[in-house]
Amino acid sequence: MASTIFPQTWLRQRVWQGMPTAYVEAPPAVEANGEALSTVVLIHGFGACKEHWRHTVPHLQRHHRVLALDLIGFGDSAKPRSRLDSEFEDGQSWRYGIGSWGQQVHDLVVAHGQGPVQLIGNSIGGVVALSAAMRLEQSGHPASQVVLIDCAQRALDDRRLAEQPPLRRLGRPLLKRLVRQRWLTNSLYRTLVNPALVRRVLLQAYPTGSNVDDELVELLLRPARQPGAAEAFRGFINLFNDSIAPDFLEVLKTPVAMLWGERDPWEPIAIAETWTRFACVTALERLPELGHCPHDENPALVNEHLSVVLQRGARPAC
């Protein structure tokens, strides 16, 4: 079933690494007047999809071409069988991870290669945006800017294990063995794909409660009910040893701006403040009263911030 959030004329399909992927391409409402067409790429978080940018695309489309993609495993893109470390590569499974998704974004940008590009990522999509930016630098197609919206801090990564309470550290080996088991992850996933539970989680992520509506619940649940969605869940919850944002922030030359909901229950702004020490980080904008997905919780405010940040990022570097 195709998206009903965006006009059908914006919906695109692209085969990538032999898998069908879905994205939106919204043309700019205002012509570029002979200048290179500016493109903004939107990258969703875990369990979300391109439709989570329902309030962002129409605003940014006024002055930019906008691409909003479904990462592999989510939305209307392919949902292949997950392959974890040490599991046999059978040609049908896929290694879910930051690098794989970063490559997907990189290849989409290069395929559309005209004019300056800015990447915007929310939650895990922020880490993916940083990964893609690194690949774009390495391939000679650097982005103009990356904008992180409540970027995932990946507190459960093994490299952050020392920050966990003692009992959690002791239980980590058992946890890792358990979540590899499909009987467990499939059962857990079936429990999670529940409208009432999804709404309760959203009310945690959106502390003001604004825009937690039936449309939001359904746009998240529709792809979550598709065959293979539980495999993406299994792949994601087994990312105990993958990239974290500082890996990229330490070495990126691409400017990085950050927008952060002060009431994010999962990704504390205090950690984001420590990231301002990296040379590539140009700004941290605090968003009072907002949570983990401020672009959807208060789109009027966040769109205003994004317009300013994107205009700043489009200027030539000094």
Q: What is the pLDDT of residues 237-283, one digit of tens each?
A: 999 889 999 999 999 999 999 999 999 999 999 999 999 999 999 99
- Residue 268 sits at the vertex; the CA angle it makes with 135 and 273, to the nearest 5 degrees, is 65
Cβ-contact 54, 219 below 8 angstroms? yes
Mean pLDDT confidence for 168-178:
83
> Hey, what's the torsion of the CAs at 229, 198, 285, 282, to 10 degrees?
-10
Among 79-93, 101-115, 121-135, the minimum mean pLDDT is found in 79-93
C-alpha dihedral sign at 152, 57, 108, 86:
positive
Residue 34 — very low, low, confident or very high, per pLDDT cuts 50/70/90?
Answer: low
DSSP symbols for 138-179 = HTT---SEEEEEEE---TTSGGGGGGS-HHHHHHHHHHHHHT
pLDDT reading at 126 higher than 70: yes
Confidence at residue 168, expressed as pLDDT on a 0 to 100 scale? 80
The encoded tokens of residue 22 equal: 């879905």
Look at residue 22 in the predicted model and tell me its pLDDT: 98
User: Tens digits of per-residue pLDDT, 181-207?
Assistant: 999 999 999 999 999 999 999 999 999
What gap in Å lies between CA 18 and CA 34, rounded to an integer?
36
Share of the chain above pLDDT 90, in %: 80
Q: Which CATH architecture has domain 8-314?
A: 3-Layer(aba) Sandwich (3.40)
Of 119, 123, 98, 106, nearest to 45 by C-alpha is 123
Confidence at residue 318, expressed as pLDDT on a 0 to 100 scale: 32
pLDDT beyond 70 at 317: no
Nearest to 124 by CA among 297, 309, 267: 267
Q: Taking residues 30-57, what's their average pLDDT? A: 88
**Rounded to two decimals, what is the model's pTM?**
0.95
Average pLDDT, the chain: 93
Each domain of the chain, given as residue ranges in start order, spans: 8-314
Q: For the chain, where are the alpha helices, taking DSSP H only?
A: 57-60, 98-111, 124-138, 166-178, 182-192, 195-205, 214-224, 229-237, 245-249, 269-274, 294-297, 299-314
Q: Residue 30: pLDDT above 90?
A: no
